[in-house]
Amino acid sequence: MKKPAKPDFIPEFKGNLRSNIIRVPEVISESSGIIILGKCIKSLLFSTDVAIIRNTNADAIIAVYPFTPQPIITHALILAADKPIFCGIGGGLTSGKRSLEIALDAEFQGALGVVLNKPATNELIERLKKKLEIPVIVTTVSEEDDFAGRISAGIDIFNVSGADRTEAIVKKIRTISATIPIIATGGKDENSIRKTIEAGANAITYTPPTTGELFRIIMNKYRKGENYK
């Protein structure tokens, strides 16, 4: 029996008040996605801004920030999010038993995954894997990172954040493992996102404009006497 043809038109309900949302680049839909506990994730929004998290069409949120992870922040983000969220649990200054406790708390609160910083040790990864049901994601920033060691320690997903070297890092990981899931930053345009996907990334993170940048657009329209739509 033939499979039904993919419809050319996909119905969408936008509503009147919430139609203005942050949309991730459509090219991200070309990625394979990663199925995590039954949910297919292709696009991840990189943000800890609750207002932005509530107004995006991204499949999930990756919430990491440059401060010591605090459970109250994790709780607030998970409570506010209307989609799966991956929470940062440290791995650098915050490590060892503290990272493990923060990770367990995040899982109990409903996080779909936890994210370790690049300095996290393989020993910490092994300890997390013994305790958690949700995936352990490790950030990598260089082609010189110990990818094989990370995989042996039991990581579930690589999170590649290598700026202009991201594509090369993804390719390097794929020479070591053809199947390990990879999330990667896609760059600033559709061409760079597509190249990252073609290099082997399964899902793409997208950094949205800040609320300040969005407000600048709105206020400029208001100053001109225009309505913001």
21 assigned to some structural domain: no
Please determine, for residue 1, whether its predicted confidence score (pLDDT) is greater than 60. no
Report the C-alpha gap between 89 and 71 in whole angstroms.
9
Per-residue model confidence as pLDDT tens digits over 79-136: 999 999 999 999 877 778 899 999 999 999 999 999 999 989 999 999 999 999 999 9
pLDDT digits (tens, 9 = 90+) for 41-67: 999 999 999 999 999 999 999 999 999
- Per the domain annotation, does 10 fall within a domain? no
Would the pLDDT of 76 be above 70?
A: yes
Residue 14 lies in a domain: no
User: Model's pTM, two decimal places?
Assistant: 0.89
**For residue 200, is it within any domain?**
yes
Give the range of the structural domain holding residue 131, as residue numbers without chain letter: 27-223
Question: Does residue 7 sit within a domain?
Answer: no
Residue 15 lies in a domain: no
CATH number (domain holding residue 207): 3.20.20.60
Total count of domains within the chain: 1
The amino acid sitting at 4 is P
The residue among 97, 157, 151, 152 whose CA lies nearest residue 128 is: 97
3-state secondary structure 85-138: EEEECCCCCCCHHHHHHHHHHHHHHCCCEEEECCCCCHHHHHHHHHHCCCCEEE
Is residue 45 in a domain? yes
**Is 207 within the bounds of a domain?**
yes
